[in-house]
A and B are shown apart, each in its own frame.
Chain A
């Protein structure tokens, strides 16, 4: 099993009241940005990555967001280029570059190829559609999001694999001369993994391209459904999907004692956590989701993802300001807008969900001894070939974060490796995704463990983390 260290690289000094007053991390005025603080954090996060590698993590995962203190990785490829040089053996896993909002896939092909070369073949690129708010920040037409994604992907792959020069005249991208004088180190191109929150279209697309799908903290029950969808698509494409085709990301914080861990772990709920990533109208701008995805969101009441896409948020987006004030869900955000709820009251509501968030495995907090069984359950249910440990968000100190990384690296990672070995989990480097042929009509091997799923807690949909 490939084990990655991940952090959103939060700007941790933003005043929490401002996030709550703004009703979203996205759009907090950048007058609160202090370059001294920014400079310190960027360097600390590079230190964390180096430390994680030293402790034995196989990969360092990065991501990208714009216009938000939630994640400082506004230009992830800059960070990746630095890691390419300052790390030695860890994979640099980018989950992912928001192709539709960057609008220049040829440039993307060049940047990534440079990172792959500098790291001598350690790059794992990944693509995302970009959060809804990213479409707004980058002025990327959300109604063309999926089309941009597909075509930009095709441009990058062509730039990497098709001898130049050649012309590209697509629907959205036009190049008169594709002939990059920088090509990836890995051939035919670096392995590509795709992260996702809930979109079935993305799962199908991944399976069609034989790209591993990395679930970003989605509820176990619905993740199982999506992975089965991947497996069925894979069979249709003529191959057998196994653990090498899947990955999972889990938010976690570890400390020396349970008491300390519980106290520190509350940071994960800072500012409302990922549920407050952006306002509903920014999460789902017009045309960003297909009708099918919208229906699926509405149906999956317990769905949860790191970008705060929940059925509740969808409902808010549907109802706008005219939602019935007597309805329980989504009430705080709107009452806050109307000035009927104080910031203190909103905060109390957020932190009151701490235990439930742990019960539902939205966050795993504890000592190595208490977090390992919970992570073991995830491995048993999902059997992912890739596991990302996501250092909890919020205003943790540098010492608290480094201690958490140390405990993960020294105690949690080795234990999980043994568990994964026992479960027969293989990663995408041990077995190439899509390399096993499927013989039509034969029985598909079980991807997930449904008995273990019965032991998994159901998420409480009212929990807003």
Chain B
């Protein structure tokens, strides 16, 4: 039996593909900028106790493009509308990279939408030290390669996005890169207003998870997020010898942390 299913649903004036798997209290998963990387170990582990709801970002995969969305904040507003219509709120949320940025924007729109929030190396705030890697002026494969600190120590690296270099996967990457270029080209992968709005977030326990060797979003941004979220309960975990993907680079530790946080 398949671990997950995908269906396209009409919602908030558009068509949205949603991957759904597992059983139990739901978790909303907001995927990264290259798309949904496939059903990995951490998905399977969490799916034993939770129903994972993974919307595919508009314009990627089977989700329709919404041309009038112009930036990540617009997308967060649209997701708020769509998931309200789906009656998913309040819900636990976990967002990765650009998905973490989207989750943070949604929290600023209405923190009550979420019960608890996990942000994994989120974009969205300009790091006080270092720069967010310009993933739009390198290839998808190069970005993918930079996202993991130690390829050899990360068996699931080879499984990301099916692990094959098919023309179909190339097109899927280009769709994702094109849409996120459209939404997040300038300022480069962050929103200067976001840290200010995050000050207004209260009553939303948040766990920020980062890899110390993250080459995509420098770890200094973890502290910037913590400071911005100073009016709510925040925990920060930073893994050593870990890049932009703690969920596969420190898979066991990551699963334990998230499971406990969402218990």
| Bound pair (A, B) | yes
**A interface, CB within 8 angstroms of B:** 136, 139, 141-144, 280-282, 285-287, 291, 294, 317-322
Given A141-B182, A143-B185, are A136 and B139 also a contact pair (CB < 8 Å)? no
Q: Give the Cβ gap from B67 to chain A, nearest Cβ, in Å.
A: 9
5 A-B pairs with least C-beta separation: A320-B141, A320-B139, A286-B177, A287-B178, A143-B182
Given A286-B174, A317-B139, residue A322 in contact with residue B182 (CB < 8 A): no
**How many residues of chain B get a CB closer than 8 Å to chain A's CBs?**
22
State A140–B11 Cα separation when bound (angstroms): 32
Give chain A residues whose Cβ lies under 8 Å from the Cβ of B139.
280-281, 317-321
Residue pair B185, A281 in contact (C-beta under 8 Å): no
Partner among B144, B165, B177, B186 whose Cβ is within 8 Å of the Cβ of A141 = B186
Q: Mark B57-84, 1 if CB is under 8 A from A, else 0.
A: 0000000000000000000000000000
Tell me whether B145 is interfacial, beta carbon within 8 Å.
yes
Digitize B170-187: 1 where CB-to-A-CB distance is under 8 Å, 0 elsewhere. Answer: 110010011111100110
Contact at A286–B136, with CB atoms within 8 Å?
A: yes
Docked pose: A143 CA to B140 CA in angstroms? 16
CA distance A317 to B139 in the complex (A): 6
| A322-B165 contact in complex given A286-B177, A294-B174, C-beta closer than 8 Å | yes
Contacts of A318 in B (CB 8 A): 139, 165, 167, 170
Chain A residues in 8 Å Cβ range of B178:
143, 286-287
Judging by beta carbons under 8 Å apart, are B186 and A291 in contact?
no
B142 at interface, CB cutoff 8 A: yes
The closest CB in chain B to the CB of A294 belongs to B174
Q: Residue B137 at the A interface, CB < 8 A?
A: yes
Whether the pair B182, A144 counts as a contact (CB closer than 8 A) is: yes
Residues of B within 8 A of A282 (CB): 137
Contacts of B171 in A (CB 8 A): 291
A141 lies within 8 A of B185 (CB): yes
**Cβ-neighbour of B145 out of A136, A143, A291, A321 (below 8 A):** A321
Q: With A287-B177, A291-B171 as given contacts, are A321 and B182 in contact (CB-CB < 8 Å)?
A: no
A-B CB contacts (within 8 Å), total count: 61
22 A/B residue pairs, CB under 8 Å, sorted by A: A139-B185, A141-B181, A141-B182, A141-B185, A142-B136, A143-B181, A281-B138, A281-B142, A285-B181, A286-B174, A286-B177, A287-B178, A287-B179, A287-B182, A291-B171, A318-B139, A318-B165, A320-B139, A320-B145, A321-B141, A322-B141, A322-B145
Most interface-central of A141, A144, A286, A294 (chain B CB within 10 A): A286
Enumerate chain B residues within 8 angstroms of A286, measured Cβ to Cβ: 136, 174, 177-178, 180-181
B177 touches A321 (CB 8 A): no
Which of chain B's residues have a CB closer than 8 A to the CB of A321? 139, 141-142, 145
A285→B140 contact, CB < 8 A: no
CA distance A285 to B167 in the complex (A): 17
Residue in chain A with minimal CB distance to B141: A320
Complex: A410 Cα to B151 Cα, angstroms = 63
B contact residues around A141 at 8 Å (CB): 181-182, 185-186
Q: Are A281 and B177 in contact (CB under 8 A)?
A: no
Seed contacts A280-B139, A291-B171, A322-B141; 17 additional CB < 8 Å A-B pairs: A136-B137, A139-B185, A141-B181, A141-B186, A142-B136, A142-B181, A285-B137, A285-B181, A286-B177, A286-B181, A317-B139, A318-B165, A320-B138, A320-B142, A320-B144, A321-B142, A322-B145
A320 and B177 within 8 A (CB): no
Report the minimal beta-carbon distance from B135 to chain A, rounded to whole angstroms: 9
Known contacts A144-B182, A286-B136, A319 near B141 by CB under 8 Å: yes
Which of A282, A285, A294 has the largest number of chain B CB atoms within 10 A?
A: A285
| Residues on A with beta carbons closer than 8 Å to the beta carbon of B182 | 141, 143-144, 287
What's the nearest-Cβ distance from chain A to residue B207, in Å?
A: 31
Shortest distance between the CB of A38 and any CB in chain B (Å): 26
Inter-chain CA distance A410–B165, complex, in Å, is: 55
- In the assembled complex, the CB of A68 is this many whole angstroms from the nearest CB of chain B, namely 15
Give the distance in Å from the alpha carbon of A414 to the alpha carbon of B32 in the complex: 61
Q: How far is the CA of A366 from the CA of B88 in the complex (A)?
A: 73
Per the bound structure, the CA–CA distance linking A320 and B182 in Å amounts to 21
Residue of B at shortest CB range from A291? B171
A298: nearest chain-B partner, CB-CB: B167
Q: In the complex, A306→B153 CA distance in Å?
A: 44
Residues 127-176 (chain B) with a chain A CB within 8 angstroms: 136-142, 144-145, 165, 167, 170-171, 174
Q: Whose C-beta in chain A lies nearest to the C-beta of B178?
A: A287
Task: Point out the residues of chain A lying under 8 angstroms from B145, CB to CB.
Answer: 320-322
Report Cα–Cα, A286/B167, bound state, in Å: 16
- The smallest C-beta distance from A314 to any residue of chain B, in angstroms, reads 10
A143 to B175 alpha-carbon distance, docked (Å): 10
* Residues from chain A with Cβ under 8 Å of B174 in the complex: 286, 291, 294
Residue ID in chain A nearest B137 by CB atoms: A136
With the chains together, A294 CA to B171 CA distance in Å? Answer: 10
A319 contacts B165, C-beta separation under 8 Å: yes
Docked CA distance A317–B138 (Å): 9
Q: Whose C-beta in chain A lies nearest to the C-beta of B167? A: A318
Asked whether B179 lies within 8 Å of A143 as measured between CB atoms, the reply is yes
Q: Which residues of B contact A142 (CB under 8 A)?
A: 136, 181, 185
Report the minimum CB–CB distance from A247 to chain B (whole Å): 31
Which single residue of chain B is at the shortest CB-CB distance from A132? B137
What is the CA–CA distance of A143 and B141 in the complex, to the nearest angstrom?
Answer: 19
Choose among B136, B141, B179 the residue that contacts A285 (Cβ–Cβ < 8 A): B136
Nearest Cβ in chain A — how far from B162, in angstroms? 14
A317 to B170, CA, bound (A): 10
Chain B residues near A281: list those with CB within 8 A: 137-139, 142
| Selected contact of B181 from candidates A280, A287, A320, A322, CB within 8 Å | A287
Most A-side CB within 10 Å, residue of B136, B139, B142: B139
Chain B residues near A136: list those with CB within 8 A: 137
Q: Which of A139, A144, A320 has most chain B Cβ within 10 Å?
A: A320
Complex alpha-carbon distance, A136 and B134, angstroms: 10
- Rounded to whole angstroms, the CA-CA distance of A318 and B170 in the bound complex is 6
| Residues on the A chain within 8 Å of B142, using CB | 281, 320-321
Min distance, Cβ A392 to any Cβ of chain B, angstroms: 30
For the complex, give the distance between the alpha carbons of A206 and B5 in Å. Answer: 46
A440 to chain B, nearest CB (A): 35
Chain A hits for B181, CB < 8 A: 141-143, 285-287
- What is the bound-complex CA distance between A144 and B67, given in angstroms? 11
Give chain B residues whose Cβ lies under 8 Å from the Cβ of A319. 139, 141, 165
The docked-state distance in angstroms from the alpha carbon of A103 to that of B65 is 25
Q: Find the A residue at minimum CB distance from B182.
A: A143
